[in-house]
Structure 1
Amino acid sequence: MHKGFYAFIVFSAGACYGILSTFVKTAYAAGLTLADVSGMQCLFGMLFLWLSAILTVRRIPSFFQILSLASIGIPMALTTIFYYHSLESLSASLAVVFLFQSIWMGTAAESLIFKKLPGKKQLLSIILCLTGTLLSAGLLDEGANFSFSSGMGWGLLSALSYTAMMCASSLLGKGVAPALKGALMSTGDTLLTFLLLPPVFLLDFSSWPLLLPYGFLLGIFGVALPPFLLAWGMPHVGPGLGSVLAASELPVALVMALLVLGESITPIQWAGIFLIGAGIVAGNIKNS
């Protein structure tokens, strides 16, 4: 298939992540905890992916491939936990700014792994996306009150683990069906999440009516679709361009906040969204 198609697939994975912050903020407001949200998300997502894999996959990968793909669940789980930790104390727009440091981290990682410098188009793309990120997050308005906090530290850690996940997804499991690759990744994700955040909510049946809707939505958009799409598209675009394409998360997050939470988007934020779009196009022109 045309490389631009795979670029769109990775773009869609980022868009899925953009939906999450609105759902998580709503879940926290409803009284759910980090363990509730993270645990239900990975559990539902794993079930969805394994159902898809069982129905569609016919070829079983080697033991090494199974183990290596499950290991991608480690940075996958840490990304969720770190990012949702940051959302406990930061606004959704500010938390995503720190997660978006994965844009330059991904390019740096690609340069180290493949021992090649980023091209001019890729550098232009990163500059446009980072500038757009600052504008979209409203940091120009909040700049006077800016001071580093633990929430920002969690956000930076989420960017680092997200970069590791993108790199591993692009390098490991080539030739494995995307549905099975995503299922194995989500299995590692679930195991580590339950180890770090014991799923006590499974025994509290009275909370299930509140947990299940959030678990379903977060499982689809936070676990099931992103790894499936990344497993499909990342081997064809690489971690550098992939990190830029995944910048679709921010404009989607802002639009969701506008439509679902009723938050306003200023002209400066719309300008930032435009710059991010321009950055994505600039980085992908040669593949279109």
Structure 2
Amino acid sequence: MKYLISVFAGAISYGILSTIVVKAYAQGYQLGEVVGAQLLTGFILSWILAMYTKRRSRRPQNQTVSASATPSGFARLTWKQRLLLMLAGAPTVVTGLLYYQSLRYNPASLSIVLLFQFTWISVLIQAVITRRRPSNIMLWTLLILFGGTFLAAGIIGQGTTHFNGVGIIFGLLSAISYSLFILFSGKVVPSVHPTYRSAWMVTGGFVLLCILFPPHFLFNGMIWSSLMLFGFLLGLFGAFIPPLLFAIGVPRIGEAMAGILGAAELPVAVLLSTIVLHEDVNGLQWVGVVLILIGVTLPELYKLRGQNKKLIPS
């Protein structure tokens, strides 16, 4: 149960981000400043955790183990491996920049729905790469997702007058970027300890962001304003807590169940946009959110059902 709660809490943490970003924009902060403060916090916290975990792993479990032995997963990396991990972290920055930019133009409830289009985009990318037609269960899933998106976007009742074309494009691009992150991140140097992998990936993201948006806030005194509070909250709930909780829980409960629990991000984001940001989310939009959650969890439930059948002797 504690591993289920771990992954569920990680997903909830991701759902909090959009509300914090909108609040930061309301204070007058710009995109580069918001994401820069977030990644700075994530960079510091990730390396503190990595070094602490490495140091703790070096402690001998018994008298026959040397305290100077290299712990499993913390072997010295080559510069090529470090570069690969840093490159694997780049899509997370691109996703954050595109998603946060979408929040400037559209309501948070709509932006998170657009981001969740990564579900069918990932299926499409996999189908193109493998040159295989999606399974029937996946086609049904896509149909449910499209229907849920149509309702959750608020087209019925509100029409398209509350849409901003630029925001829609940024939201869909964030979904594509996130799909690419999912596709590549798990395949890069998988033997490295999760905390170490996360630290190098965050480092890569931070370096990329500093190139795109030079961190002037570090030198002009803005770092001591409320920007640091927003950055700390975004870094804590976006770049530190979820990767840590997922690293703890996912290996124990499996990727299928993790995918189901990870969908908690969507209702949390929509609920907070209603309560905290006072955005108008009607009943049909909530029905759409439920349909999207069903679409996300349906393939994972199907996988679990198949696994359970294999475990039961005939």
TM-score by length of 2: 0.78
Deviant stretches of 4+, over 6 Å: 241-245
Question: Which ranges of structure 2 fall in alignment gaps of 5 or more residues?
Answer: 55-70, 306-314
Amino acid at match of 1:86: S
Partner Cα distance (2:160, 2:231) in 1: 37
Q: How does 1:28-43 map to 2 (within 5 A)?
A: 28-43=25-40
Match for residue 221 of structure 1? 237
Match for residue 66 of structure 2? none
Match for residue 211 of structure 1? 227
Q: How big is the shift at 1:207?
A: 5.3
148-157 or 46-55, larger mean C-alpha shift: 148-157
Match for residue 287 of structure 1? 304
Match for residue 87 of structure 1? 103
Matched-pair contact (CA < 8 Å) for 2:106–2:167? yes
Match for residue 60 of structure 1? 75
TM-score by length of 1: 0.84
Q: How big is the shift at 1:245?
A: 6.6
Pick from 180, 184, 187 the counterpart of residue 196 of structure 2.
180
Pick from 252, 273, 280 the counterpart of residue 257 of structure 1.
273
Cα distance, 1:130–1:168 mapped onto 2, change above 3 Å:
same
Deviation string, structure 1 residues 49-81 (Cα, Å, up to 9, x no partner): 111111113323532332211111211111111
Cα distance, 1:250–1:45 mapped onto 2, change above 3 Å:
same
Question: Which ranges of structure 1 fall in alignment gaps of 5 or more residues?
Answer: none
1:105 matched to 2:110? The reply is no
Amino acid at match of 1:224: F
Match for residue 139 of structure 2? 123
3-state SS of paired residue (2:279)? coil
Pick from 50, 55, 59 the counterpart of residue 47 of structure 2.
50
256-265 or 83-92, larger mean C-alpha shift: 256-265
Partner Cα distance (1:265, 1:97) in 2: 12
Normalized per residue, the structure richer in helix is 1
Partner Cα distance (2:184, 2:76) in 1: 17
Q: How does 1:192-211 map to 2 (within 5 A)?
A: 192-206=208-222, 208-211=224-227
Partner Cα distance (1:111, 1:160) in 2: 15
124-133 or 175-184, larger mean C-alpha shift: 124-133
